[in-house]
Chains A and B, each alone.
Chain A
Amino acid sequence: FFQYCLSGHPTLPCNVLKFKSTTIMLDCGLDMTSTLNFLPLPLVQSPRLSKLPGWVLKDGSTFLDKELKECSGHVFVDSVPEFCLPETELLDLSTVDVILISNYHCMMALPYITEYTGFTGTVYATEPTVQIGRLLMEELVNSIERVPKAQSASMWKNKEVQRLLPAPLKDAVEVSMWRKCYTMPEVNAALSKIQLVGYSQKIELFGAVQVTPLSSGYALGSSNWIIQSHYEKVSYVSGSSLLTTHPQPMDQASLKNSDVLILTGLTQIPTANPDGMVGEFCSNLAMTVRNGGNVLVPCYPSGVIYDLLECLYQYIDSAGLSNVPFYFISPVANSSLEFSQIFAEWLCHNKQTKVYLPEPPFPHAELIQTNKLKHYPSIHGDFSNDFKQPCVVFTGHPSLRFGDVVHFMELWGKSSLNTVIFTEPDFSYLDALAPYQPLAMKCVYCPIDTRLNFIQVSKLLKEVQPLHVVCPEQYTQPPPTQSHRTDLMIDCQPPAMSYRRAEVLTLPYKRRYEKIEIMPDLADSLVPLEIKPGISLATVSAVLHTKDNKHVLQLPPKPPQPPASKKRKRVSDDVPECKSLKPLLSGSIPVDQFVQTLEKHGFSDVKVEDTAKGHIVLLQEAETLIQLEEDSTHIICDNDEPLRVKLRDLVLKFLQKF
């Protein structure tokens, strides 16, 4: 059992598990926080951004001023944004047999793995995961490709140079590994390697292990995975939720009796309760709009946005906002809204029942129908004709570095009437806002993260009782900014084993059993002997045949026929010779009776000594010792073979043979 930890991000995990003879990659999340170090990509020429001064070193050197720009005391790389990939050096990724994906957020690095490492295996994921994952990738590629940037900065990555830079650039890890975004053909190639699976479907991997996805309750099609053999069970919990939102509820029962439970993807904001945050979101939205301001919600095109729209659907009438337009702008907006309505089997019970009425499961259909919600692929085209203020705009990317959101930040940033409300927890909102400073618009941080919190985790662990828990190191201590909150960490017995990026863990579990089949004809030939009531034993002589990780005991080949010809046998035909088998012995020797027997057979001077492990029977005259212990009997006599044989036979009389 080994776990190679390729990502240090607790909610964007990438681990490789070596289990029996298989190599399984669990998720391949892409850490996009690296993009926060780059300047935003404006959709239209931004005079403000283009006029930012180049960064000058303390000693006045200006060789970096083309690559690095300064904005309100922060330094940004002026280049196409790059992403921090999972570790690729820790093990040879071409040896990975399968990749299991748990949700669409955790597959964003897939093209880097499947297209660059020589990977030849299969990827397993549910259908909504693949479809929505594709949308996310498409949006990402589209946002970056439609704003081509001639310049590509690399000088700053030089280790010597990086050391001279201000934080956070100075502390950025593995900058040499940062890569530009993949392309659509790479996305398509990667997605073509995915095999679709359904919840509770059992997938055999090389006969050695079986993997099964379970509903995790976090997003459409999100799953936890069970990886098990006949005698071992590893559960992989990644991004799960117990709240009642739109997806199917989490399957907890199937996680029981795990030997090892790998726990990732807990809430990133453990102190914020999602209900309170939704309330905060609505209140701030209403206040801004009532004052004549616009609201900008940087978000992903799928996920929490469905719940927010549902919440607003109930709220807008009561808050007197019925006439305020809601815009959803994303190259995949239409597909996202429509996909959500067709994955009925992956939805929670309430929404599933709506489908049979038949009604659309999500109320955003009605918002669209009544023209309250309008969606556009981008700000160009129809949107500019329809655009009315004050309004509410949902658009990506939550990092504020690319996508249509950049345009709205530039447009609305100068007025204090407007508000930007952050709901995605993946990026620090202050870092995201840094290149837009100074900013007049109001900023509200309402991170909505429905993944498990620590109270729920502790209940879950009590419920499913795994033998060992493995988790990212961040979960084993309180958050750095709130070191007194000892309630915000995993508390279990035995303590959880933690991992960090680029670490190889030996999982605390030893394999002890393997299942072997016995062929019927071999089974027929066995003669069990009852040695204790209820326990029978039989000796087996057989050949162990192993193929495709299945082990079978077969009858030994017949003894070789005498050679029919004098032709010399080929060495390879040689079959191991079967010697006549000695019987196996069992039972114990009652000392008193044994002594009586010895006396009957003429040994008169028998003495018995008790030892720590058994007895020693002394035959003084014959200068012979018989050591009787629980698991061995020794006859020690000098060169008197007939005596030894005689004594041996007397000992054997007390034992059972088979």
Chain B
Amino acid sequence: MTRECALLLPGVCAALADPRQPGLDDTCLEKLLDWFRSLTWFDPTVELVQDNPCLPELITSVLALPEPSPSILSFTLQLAGILASSETRFQHLQEEKLLGRLFGREGPRGGAAWEEASVRSAWVKGVHSMVHHQPALHFLCTMGGMDVIFALQGDPSLFVASAASQLLVHMLTFSLESETSKPLSTKDCDWPACAQMIIKHIEESLQSSSASHIEQSLKLLTSLFGSCFGSCYAAWTEVLWLDIANQIESFLLEDTVKAQHVLANLLLNVARSPVFCGTEGSFWALVTSALEHLTPLQAGPLAVGLLKLCKCPQDVRIQALTVLLQPMDCILRAASQPLEYAGLLDESVSDPVTVESLLSSKTSCAGLLCQTLAHLEKLLSLKHLRVDLPCVSLLRSLMTILQFCNGFLSPTSPLGSTISRNLINCFRVQKSALDVLAALSEKKGCDTLIGSLFDVLLAYLQSPNTSPTVLKKTFQATSKWLVHLQELSCSNSQWQQTEKILEDVFLVLQKRLCSPCWEVRDSSLEFLTAMVKCLRDQKEFRQSLLSSEVLRLTENLLEDPESYVRASAVTAVGHLALITYCAPESPVIGNPYNKENTVAKLQEILSTDSEGFPRRAVISIFTKWLREGSGQLEDTEQFVSRVIQTVEHDLDWEVRLGGLELVEVFCSQTICQLSPCPYAPVSSAVSSPTPQNELLQVFCRAKLFGFLFRSLCDCDKPVGQRACDVLIGLRGHFYPMSTLENPQEIEDSPAGRGIAWLQRTLRQGSLAQNFPTDGGDGVDFQDPESMMLALGAIDLLELHDELNKSSNHVEESPQSLLQDILATMGTIEDNEVDCY
């Protein structure tokens, strides 16, 4: 603790204990607690409480208050817990008899303040902080604290209940890890007293007839197994598990106790814990039984968790996958004539009737499907899935779901009719199914279905009933499958099918680009950009694109009234330019949307658009063009110079940042172009400028340095940081070995005064955040010599560090926090004086 803080602390403590003071807001108190936590974390000594007697005094005064406010009482409980986290400070506070009055029987528990959930929560947190040594554990057990914690597991406040449960897990683990030296194999009286109490409580609860007690204990066990990852926990957790396994199994099989929903999590955490590394044993039998007996909704999370595990036995994995696929299988069977398609699964794990009844009910159908689809999407995103997904059947099932949802499928079975009725116009299911569909595009083997898949996708794209959000997902899935389609047609030369599909896609895209709903226009443009990104090298795609109206419509949307649409149009036009102005088949003649017009239009948007999004889009497209160097820009130097001048005064910092990115790309490209190839023959011409000088001249002509140096003082930190990075990079180029070391050299130079001024300004500027505009003492940013000197003379690294400091590092210091508290609290005295 700094001296300044130590001086401020007594005042703060006194103010906090003063009941007349207005309550501080909770964030302040939380920050204060965080500070104490950081002070005590690595320092177990007693000095903190000894040197700052105001802290124990604060606790004493609060305890002396007849009716302390809940917030100050909560603060005190947590503070005491933090202070008592080391044994020495604990003893010190015990000597002052404070802890008993806070956490013991005479403490707030049972009193009026206990009605407040915040007080109970603080009590639990305080105890949690305190229990990091034996005496604290002992103190709690003897003071009757355990029963309180047990009771708080069922607290009406979920936060308190959860914190109590976490506390018990911590105590059990701590007690077993710290109090025993030899490995515990069997549960006997060797177990520490505290652990015994907790275990006994768990066992009793599990055997009780109260559903809530059972649930509490199951949740406790879930977090216990969820927190024990080290192998050192293996021994005792296994003992504990063997002790309760039978009970758990009985919950699974009996319907009398409604605890199934908690069991899936518990089993998953046990499966993840190091205890059951082996694939043998009764545990996996229990997991299998759970997969059979839990409803698909309950078993889903367990199944997906198991599939992610490395050490799960293969048969359990297959079973878990089967559970996940069951609803999809049911859909497939319900939609088709018997035996038309084999379903997804050869046999089901649980009773198929359960899945059927869930899908037949209006209330559970969408929920089950959405959950299943979300799980499947997760599985598809895994790099290493250790089971094979039946992708073709899965795709068929997804298509069926999508057709049910838009009413395009007429099922023959009664179950199919019911499901169809439940799913019609269900946007939630549509969106989830389309997500999985998109993820499935990367899997192999679905090629035979690709034609009918596009029929489904196009039906969605064409239907006026498709909601904008569903349409967006459809676009995303379509662009992914188009990529797959292209790859496929490359390999099997089925160009006709591809061309037909592309033609249909562009037709519907044209219509969607004219939609009165801006979300639709926006996602259509995003779709177009996505397609161009992936498919621009494909001839068929380019042909379909260029023969459609899409180009013209997209250019029109640069003037859309909605700024998001304008931004997306800018991005799309930018990407389209990469095709249209380079492609040989581009219809140049009579096209008013030529290269110059497009560049001019985008520059106009950059300088005049009233919204930030389109301007950001323009600058990033310019950068992309420059980076790709694909011939959009003839006179790059002039172009960059123009853009810099436009961007420099932009009100949106992201646009200015984009400008810096453009400058960075420009610099690196120019350096590459102008730097001599190390193997090139040395030019004998004396008069030609050296490459370094030429570079400097180019940069100066482009007015690059003025922009960079001014950006160092930008009011938005990221801009300054980026400018600094670029300048450091440039200096690395111009001064590859070292910086300018001789200050005399600067002073002597004609530009010396200017550079000195710049140095001074920047030093203040980073704080003042204000770059002086008067040029009296100014520096000539377009003079190559001055700029060379400036790069060498200014300590950019120091500036870099300065800029990287968090902007609020001053305001967030503990000292400032204490001052703030004093200032807030102090007002009351002023008011009193006023009143007098």
Could you tell me which A residues sit within 8 Å of B by CB distance? 271-273, 276-280, 282-284, 286-287, 290-291, 311, 314-315, 317-320, 446, 482-487
A-B contact pairs, 19 of them (CB 8 A): A276-B463, A276-B464, A276-B466, A279-B516, A280-B511, A282-B515, A282-B516, A283-B516, A284-B514, A287-B510, A287-B511, A290-B514, A290-B552, A317-B561, A318-B516, A319-B514, A319-B516, A483-B410, A487-B424
CA A271 to CA B464, docked complex, whole Å: 10
If A283-B516, A484-B417 are given as contacts, then 14 extra A-B residue pairs at C-beta distance below 8 Å, sorted by A number, are: A271-B465, A273-B465, A276-B463, A276-B465, A279-B516, A279-B517, A279-B520, A280-B511, A283-B511, A314-B516, A319-B514, A484-B420, A486-B421, A487-B424
Establish whether residues B515 and A482, one from each chain, have CB atoms under 8 Å apart when the complex forms.
no
B464, closest chain A residue (CB): A276
CA A282 to CA B549, docked complex, whole Å: 17
B507, closest chain A residue (CB): A287
- The residues of B that contact A314 with a CB separation of less than 8 Å are 516
- The residues of A that contact B520 with a CB separation of less than 8 Å are 279
Asked if B562 is at the interface (CB within 8 A of a chain A CB), the reply is yes
Contacts A279-B520, A483-B410, A486-B417: A287 and B464 contacting too (C-beta < 8 A)? Answer: no
Establish whether residues A278 and B465, one from each chain, have CB atoms under 8 Å apart when the complex forms.
no
Interface residue SS majority, chain A = helix
Asked if B411 is at the interface (CB within 8 A of a chain A CB), the reply is yes
Establish whether residues A291 and B549, one from each chain, have CB atoms under 8 Å apart when the complex forms.
yes
CA A279 to CA B471, docked complex, whole Å: 13
CA A315 to CA B556, docked complex, whole Å: 14
- The residues of B that contact A446 with a CB separation of less than 8 Å are 464
Asked if B559 is at the interface (CB within 8 A of a chain A CB), the reply is yes
- The residues of A that contact B424 with a CB separation of less than 8 Å are 485, 487
CA A247 to CA B828, docked complex, whole Å: 59
Asked if B560 is at the interface (CB within 8 A of a chain A CB), the reply is yes
Query: Nearest Cβ in chain B — how far from A268, in angstroms?
Result: 16
B517, closest chain A residue (CB): A279
Which residues of chain B in 546-565 are interfacial with respect to chain A, using CB atoms and an 8 Å cutoff?
549, 552-553, 556, 559-562
Which residues of chain B in 494-522 are interfacial with respect to chain A, using CB atoms and an 8 Å cutoff?
510-512, 514-517, 520
CA A446 to CA B553, docked complex, whole Å: 22
Establish whether residues B559 and A320, one from each chain, have CB atoms under 8 Å apart when the complex forms.
yes
- The residues of A that contact B313 with a CB separation of less than 8 Å are none
- Residue of A284, A286, A317, A484 near B411 (CB, 8 A) is A484
Query: Nearest Cβ in chain A — how far from B551, in angstroms?
Result: 12
- Residue of A273, A315, A485 near B516 (CB, 8 A) is A315
B416, closest chain A residue (CB): A484
Asked if B629 is at the interface (CB within 8 A of a chain A CB), the reply is no
- Residue of A280, A315, A487 near B464 (CB, 8 A) is A280
- The residues of B that contact A320 with a CB separation of less than 8 Å are 556, 559
- The residues of B that contact A282 with a CB separation of less than 8 Å are 514-516
CA A277 to CA B466, docked complex, whole Å: 11
B466, closest chain A residue (CB): A276
Asked if B407 is at the interface (CB within 8 A of a chain A CB), the reply is yes
- Residue of A271, A279, A317, A486 near B515 (CB, 8 A) is A279
- The residues of A that contact B561 with a CB separation of less than 8 Å are 317-318
Query: Nearest Cβ in chain A — how far from B517, in angstroms?
Result: 6
Interface residue SS majority, chain B = loop
Establish whether residues A283 and B417, one from each chain, have CB atoms under 8 Å apart when the complex forms.
no
- Residue of B410, B510, B514 near A484 (CB, 8 A) is B410
Question: Per-residue CB proximity of B435-473 to A under 8 Å, as 1/0?
Answer: 000000000000000000000000000011110000000
B467, closest chain A residue (CB): A276
Contacts A484-B420, A487-B421: A287 and B407 contacting too (C-beta < 8 A)? Answer: no
CA A536 to CA B511, docked complex, whole Å: 77
Establish whether residues B514 and A287, one from each chain, have CB atoms under 8 Å apart when the complex forms.
yes
CA A320 to CA B552, docked complex, whole Å: 12
Establish whether residues A318 and B512, one from each chain, have CB atoms under 8 Å apart when the complex forms.
no
Establish whether residues A284 and B407, one from each chain, have CB atoms under 8 Å apart when the complex forms.
no
Which residues of chain B in 371-405 are interfacial with respect to chain A, using CB atoms and an 8 Å cutoff?
none
- The residues of A that contact B512 with a CB separation of less than 8 Å are 283
CA A283 to CA B507, docked complex, whole Å: 12
CA A452 to CA B562, docked complex, whole Å: 32
Establish whether residues B515 and A283, one from each chain, have CB atoms under 8 Å apart when the complex forms.
yes
Query: Nearest Cβ in chain B — how far from A171, in angstroms?
Result: 26
A274, closest chain B residue (CB): B464
Query: Nearest Cβ in chain A — how far from B499, in angstroms?
Result: 21
Establish whether residues B464 and A272, one from each chain, have CB atoms under 8 Å apart when the complex forms.
yes
Query: Nearest Cβ in chain B — how far from A390, in angstroms?
Result: 15
- The residues of B that contact A283 with a CB separation of less than 8 Å are 511-512, 514-516
CA A291 to CA B511, docked complex, whole Å: 12
- Residue of B410, B421, B514, B516 near A311 (CB, 8 A) is B516
CA A290 to CA B553, docked complex, whole Å: 9
Which residues of chain B in 516-556 are interfacial with respect to chain A, using CB atoms and an 8 Å cutoff?
516-517, 520, 549, 552-553, 556
CA A284 to CA B417, docked complex, whole Å: 34
A316, closest chain B residue (CB): B516
B512, closest chain A residue (CB): A283
Query: Nearest Cβ in chain A — how far from B532, in angstroms?
Result: 21
CA A287 to CA B421, docked complex, whole Å: 35
CA A543 to CA B654, docked complex, whole Å: 94
Establish whether residues A277 and B514, one from each chain, have CB atoms under 8 Å apart when the complex forms.
no
- The residues of B that contact A319 with a CB separation of less than 8 Å are 514, 516
CA A285 to CA B421, docked complex, whole Å: 34
Query: Nearest Cβ in chain B — how far from A326, in angstroms?
Result: 15
Establish whether residues B562 and A318, one from each chain, have CB atoms under 8 Å apart when the complex forms.
yes
- The residues of B that contact A487 with a CB separation of less than 8 Å are 407, 421, 424
Contacts A273-B464, A276-B466, A318-B562: A485 and B511 contacting too (C-beta < 8 A)? Answer: no
- The residues of B that contact A277 with a CB separation of less than 8 Å are 464
CA A290 to CA B417, docked complex, whole Å: 44
Query: Nearest Cβ in chain B — how far from A610, in angstroms?
Result: 48
Query: Nearest Cβ in chain B — how far from A313, in angstroms?
Result: 11
Query: Nearest Cβ in chain B — how far from A557, in angstroms?
Result: 67
CA A197 to CA B580, docked complex, whole Å: 66
CA A286 to CA B553, docked complex, whole Å: 10
A285, closest chain B residue (CB): B514
- The residues of A that contact B420 with a CB separation of less than 8 Å are 484, 486
Establish whether residues A482 and B407, one from each chain, have CB atoms under 8 Å apart when the complex forms.
yes
Closest 4 A/B residue pairs (Cβ): A484-B410, A276-B464, A283-B514, A286-B514
- The residues of B that contact A290 with a CB separation of less than 8 Å are 514, 549, 552-553, 556
- Residue of B465, B466, B514, B552 near A272 (CB, 8 A) is B465
- The residues of B that contact A276 with a CB separation of less than 8 Å are 463-466
CA A446 to CA B511, docked complex, whole Å: 14
